[in-house]
Amino acid sequence: MDHAATTALRPEVLDSMLPYFGSEFGNASSVYGWGRRARQALDSARDTVSGLLGASSDEIIFTSGGSEGANLAIKGVAWANQNRGKHIITSAIEHHAVLDSVLWLEKQGFEITILPVDAEGQVAPAQVAEALRPDTILVSIMHANNEVGTIQPISEIGAIVREHGAFFHTDAVQTAGVLGMSVQELNVDLLSLSAHKFYGPKGVGALYLRKGVRLNPLIHGGAQEKRRRAGTENVAGIVGLAKALELAQEEREEENARLIALRDRLIEGLMRIPSTKVNGSLVQRLPNNVNVCFEFIEGESMLLNLDLRGVAASSGSACTSGSLDPSHVLLAMGLTHEIAHGSLRLTLGRDNTEADVDYVLQEVPMIVERLRAMSPLYQG
Ligand SMILES: *Cc1c(COP(=O)(O)O)cnc(C)c1O
């Protein structure tokens, strides 16, 4: 139940990749048969991905994943457009790939506005409008949050940003294969996604870059990806990404309905535990995301106990992230440190069943009770 962290490669995706680990090992830049066949595989994957996004194929740059996509989008656009202004807007709940890229640019002399979110983790389009300045070159707001699952009004924000004449990037790593992905409907200029979040391979992603948006590469050294990302292409990975995205988009409506039913069953069951609160929006929420806080409990202890019972989950608590501070997302939503430390994230996926949900609903209350009994603060 940690599909927001990563997902298992689908067998169909593995099958599509295998030839490129074997006999079809050519370098797509070579002129002979092996190279040409690798090139064809790349072209075909690019057509698939661009088709699914409603983009054209030369607007797709293959990357090593979501982190590279965000870095390339943000640093690439900032560097290439700094003659027009040095102001960048983002939100407080972004993935660190976005936040840390923006903060790094701040050290290089760019000016940054980090927008707050409401108690459900939503960015208000009106606040984006207010923050825009004549020297704003880029706005980056995620499509949906990876911790609390809140879906942002991207299309609305995009219209405001476009009207103003700045560029708009969205980190769609949590929504690719889950929500509608038309870059025209979303009003975005850049969109990043990562294969391993939708049952594709790790280490490969894609960045949509609208025609006409200038971007400096992060990696120099070759003419690959139209000079926007040098390096011999990860042919097998890219083929797998395209296959996984195609399958996810085909099945998304049916799968979302199934996940929403499981999600709501899980939320409902967990809410029966006293002193428990749901984090994020109950309406604008990813179909697979459950995030709750149990008062008087350390998320970390919950995770260890769940692991002992065979359940993989995640928390916005300290040690998991390797830092002392709880989740920046929960804090931005106004939760106190104490409450944020007691958060539990369960993210459902293809392989989860109703029986899994019921198993978790049987285990979690017992763990909560046990942990609270050991807490000096709990008076239950
Ligand atoms: C996982 C994730 C990333 C990073 O993607 P990688 O491919 O693992 O680098 C970025 N943004 C969000 C919202 C994510 O969930």
pLDDT for 318 equals 54
pLDDT of the residue at 317: 67
Ligand 1 nearest-atom number relative to CA 97: 10
Residues 42 and 137 in one domain: yes
CA of 197 from ligand 1 middle (Å) equals 8
**Tokens in use for 158?**
């995009």
pLDDT at 316: 77
Ligand 1 contact, 192 CB (< 6 A) = no
Of the candidates 260, 264, 284, which has an alpha carbon nearest to the alpha carbon of residue 121? 284
Same domain, 284 and 150: no
Across the range 49-78, mean pLDDT stands at 98
Closest residue by Cα to residue 46 from 160, 209, 166, 170: 209
Summary mean pLDDT of the chain: 96
In the numeric block, the tokens 């989740």 are attached to 327
* pLDDT score, position 378: 83
Active site residue 293: no
Q: Which of 198, 172, 174, 171 is nearest to 99 (CA)?
A: 171
Choose one of 247, 269, 291: the last residue of a domain: 247
* Confidence band of 325 (pLDDT split at 50, 70, 90): confident
Q: Which residue has the higher pLDDT, 376 or 12?
A: 12
Residue 101 within a domain: yes
The response to whether residue 289 sits with its C-beta less than 6 Å from ligand 1 reads no
Q: For residue 67, give the ligand 1 atom closest to its CA.
A: 9
Query: Containing H/E element for 346?
Result: strand 343-347
Q: Are residues 340 and 226 in the same domain?
A: no
Do residues 43 and 97 both lie within one domain? Answer: yes
- Atom number, ligand 1, closest to the C-alpha of residue 196: 7
Residue 194's Cβ-side half-sphere holds a number of Cα atoms within 13 Å equal to 22
Q: Would residue 36 count as lying in a domain?
A: yes
Q: Quick check: is 380 in a domain?
A: no
Instruction: Tell me the CA–centroid distance for residue 254 and ligand 1, in Å.
Output: 24
Cα atoms in the 13 Å half-sphere on the side-chain side of 174: 25
Read off the amino acid at residue 175. Answer: T
Amino acid (1-letter code) at residue 252 = R
Among 143-157, 182-196, 306-320, 344-358, name the one with the lowest average pLDDT.
306-320
- pLDDT at residue 86 tops 70: yes
What pLDDT, on the 0 to 100 scale, is given for residue 320?
46
CA distance 64 to 82: 25
- At residue 230, does pLDDT exceed 70? yes
Sheet of 87-91: strands edge to edge? 60-63, 205-209, 190-194, 167-171, 136-140, 87-91, 111-115
Q: Is the CB of 146 under 6 A from ligand 1?
A: yes
329 in contact with ligand 1, CB cutoff 6 A: no
What pLDDT is attached to residue 103?
98
Percent of the chain scoring above 90 in pLDDT: 95
Rounded CA separation 144/158 (Å) = 14
Strand-pair partners of 344: 292
Q: Give domain status of residue 4, yes or no.
A: no
Residue 1 domain-assigned (yes or no):
no
Compute the distance from residue 321 Cα to the ligand 1 centre, in Å.
14
pLDDT in tens, 245-289: 999 999 999 999 999 999 999 999 999 999 999 999 999 999 999
Nearest to 240 by CA among 57, 7, 81: 7
In this structure, the answer to whether residues 190 and 265 fall within a common structural domain is no
Locate the ligand 1 atom nearest the alpha carbon of residue 194 and give its number: 7
pLDDT over 50 at 298, yes or no: yes
What percent of the chain has pLDDT above 70? 98
**Pair 331, 240 in one domain:** no
How many Å apart are CA 282 and CA 268, to the nearest integer? 11
Say what the pTM is.
0.97
Last residue within a domain, chosen from 232, 247, 262: 247
205 lines ligand 1 (CB under 6 A): yes
- Rounded Cα distance between 198 and 279, Å, is 23
Number of structural domains in the chain? 2
Any ligand 1 atom below 6 A from CB of 171: yes
Q: Are residues 242 and 188 in the same domain?
A: yes
Sequence-separated (6 or more) residues with CB below 8 Å from residue 179: 143, 144, 151, 252
Domain boundary among 207, 226, 247: 247
**Are 239 and 336 found together in one domain?**
no
Domain identity same for 178 and 57: yes
Whole-number CA gyration radius for the chain:
21
Output the pLDDT for position 105.
98
